[in-house]
Amino acid sequence: MTLLSVNLNKIAVLRNSRGGNEPDILHAAHTCLDAGCGGITVHPRPDQRHVRPDDVRALAAVLRGKAEYNIEGNPFAPPRGTYPGLVELAREVRPTQVTLVPDSDGQITSDHGFDLAADCERLRPLVAELRELGCRVSLFVDAGAHGFEQALAIGVERIEIYTGPYAQAFAEGDARAVLAACADTARRAQQAGLAVNAGHDLNQANLGGFKAAIPGLAEVSIGHALICEALYDGLAPTVRRYLQILR
């Protein structure tokens, strides 16, 4: 069973474009949960162009005891204004999972994973603190990444494979090589003792083939395409279609 975690960043983007509270991120979360999704993902950033710290807190209250809460982001990005930093947010809300992502200011979206050989040592104290808080820790990595034993040794429990290149190859008509690289990465991570999540640019067209190629895929987090598709078909029916694909 692969858990579907719906990323609500794009609901916040739409809301932020006008001020006010429409669309309401909590209403969206309830709709996704009622439709059967297993979790909610958010990716707060220091510039607060997506979800804001208060969204992260309010969602925690909605999700506690009901569904998995996955917070993604860069743990090295310093606090800015009312953004207290990723680890501080985790301290406050104790999500189920924190997915560490090496994105930087100015990136439109996440576009690469950690280099585990280079990054594990500086991640070690952060991973330890997040584990101490009771959060599962996942690291965002590219297909082809190495160093899973090092990740396991510092307390990491999962990786999230960055699926942007897979989605792009799929859209261009031939994803076989990228998919094989994702499958090999997943297999090596699982052999090392890590569970495997995946996300970025997954959609109703490319998800089925991805899931079929990755036995034991623990979780997919999907936002951009799902929210776009929901504009035409409605949020609850769209979530149900994803669940059907993951069945």
Ligand X SMILES: CC(=O)[C@@H](O)[C@H](O)COP(=O)(O)O
The kind and range of the H/E element at 240 are helix 235-246
CB of 31 to ligand LD2JLWAY, least distance (A): 17
The vertex-101 CA angle with 100 and 106, nearest 5°, equals 145
Residue 27 among the catalytic residues = no
User: Which of 72, 160, 219, 229 is labelled catalytic?
Assistant: 72
**Rounded distance between C-alpha atoms, residue 170 and residue 209, angstroms:** 10
Residues that bind ligand LD2JLWAY (rule: CB under 6 A) add up to a total of 13
Measured from the CB atom, the residue of 43 and 154 that comes closer to ligand LD2JLWAY is: 43
Per CB under 6 A, does 43 bind ligand X? yes
Measured from the CB atom, the residue of 149 and 236 that comes closer to ligand LD2JLWAY is: 236
Half-sphere exposure of 178 (CA within 13 A, CB side): 19
- Total length of the chain: 247
Which of 77, 223, 230, 245 touches ligand LD2JLWAY (CB under 6 A)? 223
Per CB under 6 A, does 222 bind ligand LD2JLWAY? yes
Residue 149 among the catalytic residues = no
Which of 2, 41, 74, 97 touches ligand LD2JLWAY (CB under 6 A)? 41
Residue 200 among the catalytic residues = yes
Measured from the CB atom, the residue of 50 and 52 that comes closer to ligand X is: 50
Among positions 211-240, residues that touch ligand X (CB under 6 A) are: 223-224
- Determine whether 121 is exposed, middle or buried from the number of CB atoms within 10 Å of its CB (0-12, 13-18, 19+): exposed
Binding track, positions 70-89, relative to ligand X; x by CB under 6 A: --x-----------------
User: Which of 43, 68, 157, 219 is labelled catalytic?
Assistant: 43
User: Which of 68, 160, 200, 229 is labelled catalytic?
Assistant: 200
Measured from the CB atom, the residue of 8 and 120 that comes closer to ligand LD2JLWAY is: 8
- Which residue number has the CB closest to ligand X? 109
CB of 50 to ligand LD2JLWAY, least distance (A): 10
Cβ-Cβ contacts under 8 Å for 19 (sequence gap 6 or more) = none
Positions touching ligand X (CB under 6 A) are 7, 9, 43, 50, 72, 101, 109-110, 140, 199-200, 223-224
| Active site members | 43, 72, 200
Binding site for ligand LD2JLWAY (CB under 6 A): 7, 41, 72, 160, 199-202, 221-225
